[in-house]
Structure 1
Amino acid sequence: MEAIGQVLKEFRKEHGMTQKDLSAGICSQSVLSRIENDEEIPNIFVIKQLCHRLGITIDQLMLDFLPEELFLRKYFNKMFMYLRTGKYLEIQATLDYLDERQITHLDKDRQQVCFFKGVCAYFIDGNPEAALAHTLEGLDICVSKKYYGYFDSRILLLNFAGKMNSALGKVNEAQSYYNQSFELFQSMMADYSERSELSNLFVNYGTFLIKQERLDLAEKVVDIGLKWNRQQCSYYKLHELLELKIRMLEARDDLHSVIGYRKMLRALEKMKDL
C-alpha cells in the first residue's frame, strides 16, 4: 500500500483537481495530503470514495503493483534491448511468448505490443503497410498519462508512423506524424525520459528532412538529438546522427566544422572496436 498515495496524486493531477476538490465530504484535506505523501494508509471506504470521485476503480489504482505488471515490465525491457541491437527475431519470439500467456490486458501494454508488432512487420517481413496498421492501432489506444512511459510510447509510435508513411511514399502523412512526434518530445514531459530509443526520432526525421531538402530544419532536429544523447550519456544512434550532421555541414561548405565532427566519428568508431 506504500505507493498508492503517489498513484492517487497522479490521477488527481491528471483530472485537474486540487486536494480540496478531491477530499471534500470524504476526508479532511490534511488526511488526503498524508495519504498522498504515503504517511497514512487509507481505509478501504475512503479509497473507494476517492476513486469514485476520480472516475476510476480500485483495481485501476492497484494494477501497477501486481506481480504480473513487474513480469511484463521485464519482458518489455528485453524487447527494447533487442531493438537497440537489431535483434528483431528475438522481439518476435518474445511477442509470441507473451501472446501465449495472454497477460497484456492493460491499454499501456497493448500499446507497446502494437509498436513492437509494427517493428517486426517492417524489419522481418518487409511489410510497411502491415507495420503502419499495427502502429496506428497503438496510437488509437487511449492510455492514461499517469503511466510511466506514456510519452515515450507515444513518441515512438508517432515516429514509426512517420517512417512507415515515408517508406510508402506518403510524404505529407509522414511529415505530419514526424511533426507530432518531435513536438511531443519538445514538451516538458520529454525532459524526464531516459529511453535511449527515442534517438530513432532524430535519425528518422533528420533523414526524411534531408531528402525533402529542408536542411535548416533537419539540422535543428539533428542538433537537438545530439544534445539529448549527450544529456543521456547515450551512444545509441550517435554514429548516424554524426553522419547526418556532417552531410549538412558539407552541404553548406562549412569544412572547418566538418573536420571536428569527423574526428568525433573516428573516435566513436575506435570505441566500438575496443
Structure 2
Amino acid sequence: MAAIGEVLKEFRKEHGMTQKDLSRGICSQSVLSRIENNEEIPNIIVIQQLCHRLGITIDQLMLDFLPEELFLRKYFNKMFMYLRVGKYLEIRTTLEYLDERQITHLDKDRQLACFFKAVCAYFIDEDPKKSLNHTIQGLSICVSKKYDGYFDSRILLLSFAGKMYAVLGDVNKAKSYYSQSFELFQTMMADYSERSELSNLFVNYGTFLFKQERFDLAEKVVDMGLKWNRQQCSYYKLKELLELKILMLESRDELYSVISYRKILRALEKLKDL
C-alpha cells in the first residue's frame, strides 16, 4: 500500500491538479505530499475521497497501481504525443518494444494498441486494408466501460475505420462508422475526456460530409470540433477545422464571416511561428 502514493501522483498530474486542489477538504496538503512520497499510508476513507475527486474508482486505482499498468500508461501517452506531431515511425518502434515485453494483457490495452497499429499501417505502409483490419480487430475486443478512456478508444477506432472505408471507396460503410463515432461522442460524457486526438473525428468526418455535399451536417460536425478545441484549449487540428469552416462559408457566399475566420487562421499561423 505504501507505493500507492506514486499512482495517486500520476493520476493527479494527468488531471492537471495541484496537491492543494486534490487535498482540499480531504486532508492537509502536507499529508498528501507525504502520501505521494510514500512516507505515509492513507486510510481507506481518505483514499475513497481522493479517488472520487479524481473521477476514478478504488478498483481503477489499484489496477493502475500494478507496475505494468503504470509502465504502459506512460508509453501509450508517448504514442499519443507522437500521433499529434505525425511521428508514425516512433509509434511503430514503441509498439514493437511493447510487443517484445509482452505486457499488453488487458483488453483495454490491446484495443488501444490496435488503433496505433492501424495508424502505422496507413501512414507508414500506405495499406488501408491492413489498417482497416486492425481497427475492426480493436472494435471486436470487449472492453468494460468502467475503464478510463473506454469511450475515447472506441471513438478513435470507429472514426479511423470510417476514414479507411472512405479511402477504399465504400461510402456507405464509411458513413456508418463515422456516424457511430460521432453519435458516441455526442452521447458520452465528453466534458470528462481530455483526448485532444478526438479532433481527428471532426476533421475526417467533416471532410467526408463536405465531399458528399451534406453541407448542413458537415458544418454541425466542424462547429462541434471547434467547440471541442476551445474546451480543450488545444490547437491540434484547429487549422484543418478552420479551413473546412471557411470552405463552407464560401459555398454560401458569406464573405464577411469568411474574412473573420481567415483572420483567425492567420493569427493561428503566426502563433505557430513563434
- Confirm or deny a common fold (TM above 0.5): yes
Q: Deviations over 1:141-166 (max 9, x none)?
A: 00011111001000000000000000
Partner of 2:117: 117
Q: TM-score, normalised by structure 2?
A: 0.79
Provide the alpha-carbon RMSD of the alignment.
2.2
1:240 aligned partner: 240
1:141 alignment partner in structure 2: 141
In structure 2, do the counterparts of structure 1 residues 186 and 92 end up closer, same or farther at CA, with 3 Å as the change threshold? Answer: same
Give the equivalent residue in structure 2 for 1:129: 129
Are residues 1:154 and 2:154 paired? yes
Partner of 1:63: 63
Cα distance in 1 for residues equivalent to 2:153 and 2:191: 14
| CA shift in 2, pair 1:60/1:261, >3 Å | closer
In structure 2, the residue matched to 1:260 is 260
| Residue aligning to 1:101 | 101
Find the counterpart in structure 2 of residue 25 from structure 1. Answer: none
Q: Is the 8 A contact 2:60 2:147 kept in 1?
A: no
Q: Is the 1:184–1:190 Cα contact (8 Å) retained in structure 2?
A: no
Paired amino acid for 1:96: E
**Tell me, which stretches of 5 or more residues in structure 1 are unaligned?**
4-33, 41-58
Partner of 1:11: none
User: C-alpha separation between the residues in 2 aligned to 1:257 and 1:65?
Assistant: 51
Q: Distance in 2 between matches of 1:71 and 1:61?
A: 14
- Matched to 2:146, the amino acid is K
1:63 to partner: Cα distance = 3.0
Distance (Å, rounded) in 2 between the aligned partners of 1:236 and 1:60: 29
Amino acid at match of 1:161: A
Pair 252,36 (structure 1): closer, same or farther in 2 beyond 3 Å:
farther
Q: 1:140 to 1:37 in 2, by over 3 A?
A: farther
Tell me which amino acid in the other structure corresponds to 1:64. D
From the superposition, tell whether residues 85 and 164 of structure 1 become closer, same or farther in structure 2 (CA, over 3 Å): same
Alpha-carbon deviation of 1:190? 1.9
Aligned residue pair count: 228
Instruction: Report the secondary structure of 2:189's partner residue.
Output: helix
Unaligned residue ranges in structure 2 (runs of 5+): 6-42, 50-58
Partner AA of 1:171 in structure 2: V
User: CA 1:61/1:74 → structure 2, altered by over 3 Å: closer, same or farther?
Assistant: closer
SS of 1:126's partner is coil
1:171 equivalent in structure 2: 171
User: Is structure 2 residue 96 aligned with structure 1 residue 86?
Assistant: no
Taking structure 1 as the reference length, the TM-score comes to 0.79
CA distance in 1, matches of 2:226, 2:253: 21
In structure 1, how many angstroms separate the alpha carbons of the residues matched to 2:191 and 2:133? 29
Q: C-alpha distance in 2, partners of 1:172/1:178?
A: 10
Cα offset for 1:188?
A: 3.7
Aligned to 2:198: 198
Query: Aligned equivalents of 2:215 and 2:188: distance in 1?
Result: 26
- Conserved 8 A contact 2:111-2:153: yes
- Work out whether residues 82 and 88 of structure 2, in 8 Å CA contact, stay in contact via their aligned partners in 1: yes
How many angstroms apart in 1 are the aligned matches of 2:183 and 2:191? Answer: 12
Q: Aligned pair in 2 of structure 1 residues 264, 158: CA closer, same or farther (>3 Å)?
A: same
The one-letter code sitting in structure 2 at the alignment partner of 1:152 is D
**How big is each residue's C-alpha offset from its partner over 1:45-93, in whole Å with a ceiling of 9 and x where there is no partner?**
xxxxxxxxxxxxxx99943320110000000000000000000000000
Answer yes or no: is the 8 Å Cα contact 1:152–1:190 preserved in 2. Answer: no
For 1:36 and 1:182, the matched residues in 2 are separated by 39
Give the letter aligned to residue 186 of structure 1. Q
Q: Structure 1: which amino acid aligns with 2:77?
A: N
